[in-house]
Chains A and B, each alone.
Chain A
């Protein structure tokens, strides 16, 4: 008898767990009606910010996103990418600033903890609401890089080789523009951001 009770409990638990996944599907279906197929807000992963808050990408819905993938111990290209991001930020039209978020995603989630990202943000004067630093997991970062077509590889315990790409997403999370390479003119990227933010 006790065994049966246990089994019943087990089944109820299983039923509950399968129910919850059904409702999850239902809610993601309703998101789907609003969001285009190519939206990054379909990505299910959870991230930690530099303020140690847990977010999903879809929490960012409604803003224009400017994203780049870096790692904080990087000596070569990242400082230039970070400089590019700051340059872009400084040229966003004053009244549009609230519509735009600048996001740096770490490709080294093991090293780049929220604390470390916070310190990096402070060091680089990027410590306000407009800037967001994200720590994921090995798998979620790989997945996100795949959405951006960013390539990266760990080449030593300290260093990664990676693509230098800055990506711009519209309010619904669809990729609208990519700037490839270092030291390229940011003009086109800035124009796109201002255009999207102005429409929003």
Chain B
């Protein structure tokens, strides 16, 4: 009995650490209010405090995930949840291969896969409002949207090809301590399908009002923010089982205990 104890302890420890193989550090984002490009009728959006992954999810982390949840391997995933492009640059279902850096953000990921990845760690995908709230920060300011050089930088990145092959942490660390919101990959959001921009891909060119109830209430608040406009348009154009070459994701988490809200720069591992 005495001999078995430590062994079991070790097994338990192993099981626990295995669970954590794809966890990553998060930082606290202090909530606030702002006016997003596309908002509600009251214009101002309130974002509550939450935790956000410091980096986009890497190939390495996603590899641990598919090893633990084989139904998400590319040869097993259901087409309902991911199209043919899902992880298509990986050499095999359980290896990205030599050509792809483990430290690069995972891309060719469907919304379903991203959502389940976050949920299996008690995290979730950020909402558009949360993502955009964090994305408007530059190195020193919470809201750099009025800064023309900031917008210019983002637009320059949009013009640069193959940035998704770079490793995480390559771009700047923003005000919140979050890396790579711009400059590496585009990212899935929980409610990307709330963008109701009409497009030629659907049969709604003539009369939006028929397809969307209340469409008149939806309009861009600040068309000067062209980079954000591109992000919303992109979100409006994709479907949840699409796997796109430059589209990755990161997770966020609600802050459960309100008493913890006071500590700034709250880090957990």
Contacts and interface: CB of A to CB of B under 8 A. Distances in A.
Given A38-B79, A161-B217, A163-B212, A4 B8 contact: yes
Given A154-B40, A181-B210, A11 B12 contact: yes
Contacts of B42: 156
B101 to A, nearest CB: 30
B223 to A, nearest CB: 19
Contact of A153 (B8, B12, B196): B196
A160 B203 CA distance: 21
Contact of A78 (B124, B190, B213): B213
Interface string B1-26: 11011001101100100000000000
Interface residues of B, number: 44
A25 B40 CA distance: 41
Instruction: Classify chain A's interface size.
Output: 35 or more
A180 B203 contact: yes
Contacts of B115: 139, 143
Interface in B14-58: 15, 40-42
Contacts of B137: none
B260 interface: no
B12 A10 contact: yes
Contacts of A139: 115, 119, 124, 190
A151 B194 contact: yes
Contacts of A150: 193
A161 B210 CA distance: 11
A180 B204 CA distance: 8
A34 interface: no
A146 interface: yes
A77 B214 CA distance: 8
B193 A145 contact: yes
A155 B217 CA distance: 7
Nearest to B202: A180
B224 interface: no
A147 B202 CA distance: 16
B213 A153 contact: no
B80 A161 contact: no
A7 B210 contact: no
A37 interface: yes
A146 B203 CA distance: 18
Contact of B210 (A8, A14, A155, A182): A182
Given A39-B80, A155-B214, A143 B112 contact: yes
Given A4-B1, A37-B79, A155-B218, A164 B15 contact: no
Interface in B70-84: 71, 78-81
A37 B8 contact: no
Nearest to B111: A146
Contact of B12 (A7, A38, A74, A184): A7
Contacts of B112: 143, 146
Nearest to A154: B40
Nearest to B81: A42
Given A1-B1, A4-B4, A39-B80, 11 more contacts: A4-B2, A7-B8, A42-B78, A146-B240, A150-B193, A153-B191, A153-B195, A155-B41, A155-B217, A156-B40, A160-B214
16 contacts: A1-B2, A3-B5, A8-B8, A11-B8, A11-B11, A37-B80, A139-B115, A142-B191, A147-B240, A154-B194, A161-B196, A161-B212, A161-B217, A165-B211, A181-B203, A181-B210
Query: Which 5 A-B residue pairs are closest in the complex by CB-CB distance?
Result: A77-B213, A146-B240, A4-B5, A153-B194, A161-B214
Interface of B: 1-2, 4-5, 8-9, 11-12, 15, 40-42, 71, 78-81, 111-112, 115, 119, 124, 190-191, 193-196, 202-204, 207, 210-215, 217-218, 236, 239-241
Interface of A: 1, 3-4, 7-8, 10-11, 14, 18, 25, 28, 32, 37-40, 42-43, 74, 76-78, 139, 142-143, 145-147, 149-156, 159-165, 180-184
